[in-house]
């Protein structure tokens, strides 16, 4: 089979330099891209070339210089080329181009012994024309030269196919059996053109390498690889095939940015395509959650009882791309100005935002989620069909860093949206999904987290979770049971701090003690699990008066194990205010929010209204936020 070699070692073009001289919002998105990677009617010339020709070749290699290597490496990754597909010739942007040396580099570095087809990175025609090139060289035992020209009738492109061999003595191109009707006096002025590709047999490439080794001069163009292009026209009969292709002008070295954007950016290169399977926008909403009992034992093979709530949520939208816009098949993340700000009023504003929200936003969560989803599908041989590209848009109103599962809500929303987009909702088991979502933060990003949040956000509603170690080791997930929210007390309340800290740090010391086999921590996690068993039984039997004491015990045990310094003064103050006003309270998550239940919830409903009013006033007086919990219905299994 034939090898495709793409030469991308030329220095910066006039277009690339011109783009760097523009600083308007439109030109900035093209900054740093080689000309071959600039979009024309959706795809770049190089991408269109590879998508059309790549499947016909055993291997595809691209050689470039050190200046553009990382850019082309990213392009190769995007198209899932092999890791050795891009070669670096080590040259800087100002060094002289030597195509002969570049070809020799690829041949020797990749130990190529098969026939090769060589093209420049900016070579592109309509797919039918490129495929006709492949058909011409298929099973061919002679070298072939392809040439683009402009004819007198202003047709955009002419494909010239010529047979040739190399005369090793003269280093000139020699015709094989030149026809009698050859026009010996024809000149380049009559047939203007440029070489667009070469096919070499095994013998032809060996000859080229030999000539390259003995030559002191390089070849800075496709024509110079084989000698004088004018002599080629004088000695060879040209077989002509006219096809539509507006890209002769694209080869113009003097092309500037304004001409590119006005004439080429949306140029109708291809016929209308139907290969993009467009879809309706996909929107997935995931609610925040509160831990009612047992947390934080979910990270320690314990048990938890959790509730998703309607008060706050995160939403992810997948919006389809148009067939003809740039990067039409790709995935684009649209930054949310609140979650991932990229524009600031001033340096002072930037600094205050960093002080308030830190440096880590949502962007990393989205990247890691996509990676985990794709990796799982690949490992489990789940086919992900090629469809239209899409934009990821995200938004959330879940308070930051108060332990209400804001991060996992965004991850869960995107994971569900991807499952829906690729139609694998029924293929990835529901019980497995929380573990995959957990791995986004724990394994990919190195953050402390447990399964509780992810389970309740996948199942929704009120969920009882048993993370029995033996069962999880055997099955890869816990035992999850959805309970009717009608079992809950009529009123639950939530309070959280206004200036929170990261919710992923308070577990660290306890986790280290757990890992070292600390008896106190291990026993505490068993006790947390027993609280869940008692709470579940109380709910099912309608004995709601037992819940306040269990919530208080859950909090006290957590305080004993973690210590006041880890829990934080503001969190302890919220619990203290709640207790003083007749409410049982415990942490809703890892810190920053508490969930509360009136201790006389079934005995004194009238008194509860007055107690809530006083509780609200007391919390708000110290700048805490107070609200009534709105339980979320669970999903139907």
Enzyme catalytic residues: 453
Spatial CA neighbour of 408 closest among 314, 310, 345: 314
DSSP for residue 315? E
Residue 606 burial by CB count (10 A; 0-12/13-18/19+): exposed, middle or buried?
Answer: exposed
Backbone angles phi, psi at 625, to 5 degrees: -100, 135
Q: Give dist(CA 365, CA 367) in Å, integer.
A: 6
Answer for the pair 487, 462: CB distance below 8 angstroms, yes or no.
yes
Determine if residue 119 is left, alpha or beta; phi over 0 gives left, psi from -120 to 50 gives alpha, anything else beta.
beta
Q: Give dist(CA 493, CA 632) in Å, integer.
A: 14
- Pull the structure tokens for residue 297: 């034992």
In 225-326, which ranges are continuous DSSP H helix? 229-235, 257-259
- Pull the structure tokens for residue 152: 């007198």
Count the helices and strands in the chain (H runs, E runs): 21, 21
Q: Give dist(CA 358, CA 354) in Å, integer.
A: 5
Q: Give dist(CA 291, CA 404) in Å, integer.
A: 9
DSSP for residue 631? B
Instruction: Look at strands 390-396 and 493-496 and give their pairing.
Output: unpaired
Q: What residues are paired with 479 via a beta bridge?
A: 466
């Amino acid at each position: 089979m034939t090898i495709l070699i793409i030469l991308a070692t030329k220095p910066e073009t006039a277009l690339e330099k011109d783009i760097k001289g523009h600083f308007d919002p439109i030109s900035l998105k093209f900054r740093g891209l080689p000309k071959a990677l600039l979009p024309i009617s959706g795809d770049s010339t190089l991408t269109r070339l590879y998508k059309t020709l790549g499947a016909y070749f055993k291997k595809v290699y691209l050689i470039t210089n050190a200046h553009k290597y990382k850019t082309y490496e990213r392009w190769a990754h995007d198209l899932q080329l092999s890791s050795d597909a891009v070669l670096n010739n080590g040259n800087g942007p100002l060094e002289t181009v030597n195509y002969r040396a570049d070809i020799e580099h690829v041949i020797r570095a990749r130990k190529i012994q098969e026939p090769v087809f060589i093209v420049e990175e900016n070579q592109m025609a309509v797919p039918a024309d490129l495929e006709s090139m492949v058909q011409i060289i298929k099973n061919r035992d002679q070298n072939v030269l392809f040439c683009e020209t402009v004819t007198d009738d202003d047709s955009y492109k002419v494909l010239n196919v010529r047979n040739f061999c190399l005369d090793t003595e003269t280093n000139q191109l020699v015709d094989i059996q030149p026809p009698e009707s050859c026009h010996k006096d024809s000149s380049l002025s009559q047939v203007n053109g440029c070489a667009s590709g070469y096919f070499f047999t095994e013998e032809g490439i060996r000859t080229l390498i030999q000539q390259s080794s003995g030559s002191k001069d390089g070849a800075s163009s496709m024509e110079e690889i084989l000698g004088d292009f004018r002599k080629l026209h004088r000695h060879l009969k040209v077989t002509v095939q006219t096809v539509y292709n507006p890209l002769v002008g694209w080869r113009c070295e003097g092309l500037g940015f304004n001409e590119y954007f006005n004439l080429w950016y949306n140029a109708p290169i291809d016929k209308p395509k139907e290969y993009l399977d467009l879809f309706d926008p996909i929107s997935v909403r995931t609610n925040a959650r509160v831990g009612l009992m047992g947390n934080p034992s979910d990270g320690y093979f314990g048990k938890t009882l959790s509730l998703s709530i309607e008060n706050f949520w995160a939403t992810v939208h997948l919006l389809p791309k148009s067939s003809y816009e740039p990067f039409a098949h790709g995935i684009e993340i649209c930054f949310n100005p609140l979650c991932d700000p990229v524009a600031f009023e001033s340096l002072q504003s930037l600094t205050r935002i960093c002080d308030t929200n830190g440096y880590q936003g949502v962007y990393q969560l989205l990247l890691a989620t996509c990676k985990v989803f794709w990796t799982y599908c690949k490992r489990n041989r789940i086919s992900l069909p090629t469809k239209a590209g899409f934009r990821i848009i995200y938004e959330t109103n879940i308070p930051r860093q108060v332990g209400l599962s804001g991060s996992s809500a965004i991850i869960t929303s995107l994971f569900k949206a991807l499952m829906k987009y690729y139609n694998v909702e029924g293929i990835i088991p529901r019980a497995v999904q929380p573990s995959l979502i957990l791995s986004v933060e724990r394994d990919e990003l190195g953050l402390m987290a447990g399964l509780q949040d992810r389970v309740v956000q996948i199942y929704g509603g009120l969920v009882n979770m048993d993370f029995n170690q033996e069962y999880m080791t055997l099955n890869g997930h816990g035992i999850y049971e959805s309970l009717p929210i009608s079992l809950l007390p009529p009123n639950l309340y939530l309070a959280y701090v206004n200036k929170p800290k990261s919710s992923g740090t308070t577990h660290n010391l306890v986790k280290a003690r757990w890992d070292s086999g600390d008896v106190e921590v291990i026993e505490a996690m068993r006790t947390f699990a027993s609280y869940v068993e008692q709470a579940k039984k109380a709910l099912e039997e309608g004995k709601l008066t037992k819940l306040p004491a269990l919530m208080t015990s859950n909090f006290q045990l957590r305080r004993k194990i973690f210590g006041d310094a880890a829990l934080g003064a503001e969190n302890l103050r919220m619990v203290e205010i709640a207790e003083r006003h007749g409410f049982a309270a415990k942490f809703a998550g890892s810190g920053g929010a508490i969930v509360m239940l009136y201790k006389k919830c079934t005995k004194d409903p009238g008194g509860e209204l007055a107690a809530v009013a006083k509780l609200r006033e007391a919390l708000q007086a110290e700048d805490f936020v107070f609200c009534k919990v709105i339980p979320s219905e669970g999903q139907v299994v």
